[in-house]
């Protein structure tokens, strides 16, 4: 198994956000996670990536046979977990090129490989940038600084394609993208679909899932998975909204 999450409870401070979440993913699968705002989708991605402010109060996370909770954030990244951020941060003064190279070299170091040759690196990056139709000048701009929303997202996918992780967490990578960019990004994601790689796509919209077809679709609500199905679930959701899936909440409100 790529990932096995059992009965996961997570809080920030006193606030419980994930309340008994279960999720299992096989290598090669693409899982979509959908759910209302504030249901805990980003929280789940952040917890998997190892963000510190989140406390796991109960449950377990197993990634490729490892107890993930024991690894630091950077260690997880080096073990092949990659998150495309819903809101990528700006890092003034640090060039995109430098970040990409450092990230790649951190990975190579972990694998006992020497630092990548500067020319080889440029060739690889240029290739990927071409695919994503990102202008080469973006290499020399500061990380995400002054990038438009869509440019930031495309920059995340650039890193994804370069770092070739085993488990990809894509948190609303589609929001902020125009129609052409969406197609380009989707093509990029499809390109890395691989029997050894798993992808979690967090999204609110069907349009990305039309391009990146998921094997399983989950609906997360109030910190728990409330429904699971194949891609037809997405269409149902588009037609009916979340209402039918939120029995408990509706019952509680009534």
Ligand X SMILES: Nc1ncnc2c1ncn2[C@@H]1O[C@H](COP(=O)(O)OP(=O)(O)OP(=O)(O)O)[C@@H](O)[C@H]1O
- Residue numbers at the binding site for another protein (CB under 8 A): 49-53, 72-74, 76-78, 82-83, 85, 88-89, 91-94, 98-99, 102-103, 106-107, 110, 142, 159, 163
Distance between CA atoms of residues 7 and 18, nearest Å? 9
Task: Say how many residues touch ligand X, by CB under 6 A.
Answer: 13
Residues 22 and 31 sit within 8 Å (Cβ to Cβ): no
* Residue 174 beta carbon to another protein: minimum distance, rounded to whole angstroms: 20
Enclosing H/E stretch for 165: none
Distance between CA atoms of residues 254 and 251, nearest Å? 5
By rule CB under 6 A, what string of x and - marks binding of each residue 26-45 to ligand X?
---------x-xxxxxxx--
Nearer to ligand X, 81 or 219 (CB): 219
Enclosing H/E stretch for 7: strand 3-12
By a kind-dependent CB cut-off of 5 to 8 A, residue 51 interacts, out of Mg ion, another protein, ligand X, none, with another protein
* Residue 11 beta carbon to ligand X: minimum distance, rounded to whole angstroms: 9
The one segment of 23-31, 62-70, 79-87, 143-151 that binds Mg ion by CB under 5 A: 79-87
Nearer to ligand X, 18 or 181 (CB): 18
Which candidate, 50, 141, 41, places its Cα nearest to that of 96? 141
Residues 155 and 134 sit within 8 Å (Cβ to Cβ): yes
E strands, 26-175, are 30-34, 54-63, 66-67, 81-84, 91-95, 142-143, 167-171
Query: And the tokens for 97?
Result: 């090129």
By a kind-dependent CB cut-off of 5 to 8 A, residue 40 interacts, out of Mg ion, another protein, ligand X, none, with ligand X
By a kind-dependent CB cut-off of 5 to 8 A, residue 111 interacts, out of another protein, Mg ion, ligand X, none, with none
Candidate residues 14, 15, 89, 92; the one interacting with ligand X per rule CB under 6 A: 15
Beta bridge partners of 63: 3, 66
Query: And the tokens for 186?
Result: 């989707």
Q: Which residues contact 75 (CB under 8 A, 6 or more apart)?
A: 50
Residues 153 and 179 sit within 8 Å (Cβ to Cβ): no
* Residue 43 beta carbon to ligand X: minimum distance, rounded to whole angstroms: 3
* Residue 159 beta carbon to another protein: minimum distance, rounded to whole angstroms: 7
Site for ligand X in 65-124 (CB under 6 A): 86
| Residues contributing to the site for ligand X (CB under 6 A) | 12, 15, 17, 35, 37-43, 53, 86
Binding site for Mg ion (CB under 5 A): 41-42, 86
């Amino acid at each position: 198994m790529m990932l096995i999450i059992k009965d996961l409870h997570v809080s920030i401070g006193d606030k419980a956000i994930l309340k008994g979440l279960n999720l299992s993913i096989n290598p090669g699968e693409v899982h979509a996670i959908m759910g209302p705002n504030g249901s805990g989708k980003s929280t789940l991605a952040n917890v998997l990536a190892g963000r510190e402010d989140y406390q796991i109060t109960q449950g377990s996370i197993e990634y490729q046979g490892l107890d993930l909770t024991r690894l630091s954030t950077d260690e997880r990244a080096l073990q092949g977990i990659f998150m495309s951020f819903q809101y990528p941060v700006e890092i003034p003064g640090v060039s995109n090129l430098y970040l990409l190279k450092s990230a790649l070299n951190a990975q190579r170091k972990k694998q006992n490989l020497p630092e990548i040759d500067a020319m080889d690196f440029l060739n690889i990056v240029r290739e990927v940038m071409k695919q994503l139709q990102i202008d080469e000048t973006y290499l020399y701009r500061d990380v995400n600084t002054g990038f438009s929303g869509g440019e930031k997202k495309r920059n995340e996918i650039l890193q994804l394609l370069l770092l070739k992780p085993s488990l990809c967490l894509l948190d609303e990578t589609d929001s902020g993208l125009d129609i052409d960019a969406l197609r380009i990004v989707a093509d990029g994601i499809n390109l890395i679909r691989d029997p050894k790689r798993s992808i979690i796509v967090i999204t609110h919209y069907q349009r990305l899932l039309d391009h990146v077809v998921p094997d399983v679709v989950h609906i997360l609500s109030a910190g728990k998975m409330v429904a699971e199905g194949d891609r037809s679930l997405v269409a149902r959701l588009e037609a009916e909204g979340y209402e039918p899936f939120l029995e408990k909440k509706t019952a509680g409100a009534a």
